[in-house]
Structure formats: structure tokens, C-alpha cells
Structure 1
């Protein structure tokens, strides 16, 4: 009987390779810290793919539409603790955060 050309087991999975890495997806959600108005803020970018709900931007009062890249910001140094700060996070248009953040 002739040997099969089909790879089997772990060797087959190793030869199949890995899917390409989506660098934009990997870096899109990285949280950073910013100082604004003498206060420390956590700022996390949200990509178009992650933005699934509408929000009201506190900078301009307009809607951040689903599918729009934007930022989420919350206090990093609040007196009520991390859970309260995270619950008080707000979604901002990227431009509004840049020009008018607290």
C-alpha cells in the first residue's frame, strides 16, 4: 500500500500555520493614562468594529454613532475607588477629547 500524503495529528496543525495577526486589532484597545486638568484619567481607544452602541459625547453633546471609532475615558484617581470610576466612564469623540477634555 502506498503511503498517504496527508499529514496527521500535531504535525498537521503545525504545518497549517497561524492566521495572520491583525496589528490594528491588537493595538486598538490599549489603555493609557493621561493627566488633564490636574487629574489622572484612563483613556482607551475603541475601534469601529468594537463600537456597537450609540453614546452621547460629553464634550459636544452629540451622539457617538455605532461603528464610529472613539475613546472611553474614566478617572484614574477618584476618591470612591476603581469600581466607581469605571462605572462613571464616558465615551468621547476622539476630537472632542483632544480639544476639550476635563
Structure 2
């Protein structure tokens, strides 16, 4: 009798990339064309500030890095994955003065 295989075959998983450790792709959205790189938790070694929620992304947490296509990556931003997906549904953060009304 042959030993049982406990491994499941996973369909729909992207093939392993040979050009580097990051999965990088281009996304088109209403706010322009973006280059998006997915960072695994093991590859996140420094804390970053998410521009979507203004919270810290601690080391060891997977996230995405995005920059506008054509910028060369000089203006990269590190986002939580849900914040990146919700960026078009969020309104800009409004900073109010101390005595401003809160309508």
C-alpha cells in the first residue's frame, strides 16, 4: 500500500515569480494608474504609517506598497490592504480647528 498524500492542490493560486520576491502589478482606478507591490509579513521589518487610516503598520504585518505609475517609486506609500481597497470610497480627512463646529 502506498502512503497517503495529505497535500491538497490549490487552484487559482498565482504561479511563483522568478523575477523577485515581491508580487508587483499595475492597477487602473478612478484616481489614475498605480503600481502595487504586496509585502508579506515576514518581509515587513520596519513600522510604517498608513495614509488611509493614519495608523501605524507594525513590523511583521503584511501590507501593500503603492505608487503612481511613471513616478519611478519615489513617492511610495505603505497601506493596509483593506485601506488600499477602500481608498476610493473614503473622503479626505478633514482637520478642524479647535473651535470649529462638528457638523
**Relative contact order, higher structure (CA 8 A, sep 6+):** 1
What 5-or-longer segments of structure 2 have no aligned partner?
A: 1-12, 91-103
TM-score (norm 1): 0.63
Partner secondary structure for residue 73 of structure 1? strand
TM-score (norm 2): 0.62
Q: 1:54 aligns with which of 40, 47, 50?
A: 47
Please list, as runs of the form range in 1=range in 2, the aligned pairs for 1:14-93 lying within 5 A after superposition: 26=16, 29-77=22-70, 81-82=71-72, 86-93=73-80
Q: 1:98 aligns with which of 74, 82, 85?
A: 85
Partner secondary structure for residue 42 of structure 2? coil
Shift of 1:37: 2.1
What 5-or-longer segments of structure 1 have no aligned partner?
A: 1-22
- Structure number with the higher helix fraction is 1
